[in-house]
Amino acid sequence: MQSLPDNVGVAWKPGFLKQAPWTAILSLVGFGLCCVGLVVILWESDGKEVSTWPLSAFVVPVSVLLSLAITTANLCLAVALGIGYEVSW
C-alpha cells in the first residue's frame, strides 16, 4: 500500500479574515447597493416625463433601469445563497 505525501490537500490558513466567505459577503453588499439603487431610481423618476429622465441626450426608460437593478440583485442573492449552501455542507 502506498503512503500519501505530506502535502496532499489544501493547506489550512488560520484566522477569520482568511476563512471568511468574501464572495458571499460582497454579493450581499451588492444586493444592498441594488436595493438602494432601486429606491434612487424610483425617487428621482417620480412624476418626470420619460423623455427627460435621466438625461435629455441619454434616454433610458425607467422600466429598463429597474429591470437591470432587479436582475443584478437576484444574481447577487443567488451567488450568496450558493456559497451559503457550500459553507453549510
List, for residues 15-70, the tens digit of each pLDDT value: 778 788 889 999 999 999 999 999 999 998 888 777 777 666 677 888 888 999 99
pTM of the predicted protein model: 0.75
Q: What is the pLDDT of residue 6?
A: 63
Band the pLDDT of 7: cuts 50, 70, 90: low
C-alpha cell at 86: 457550500
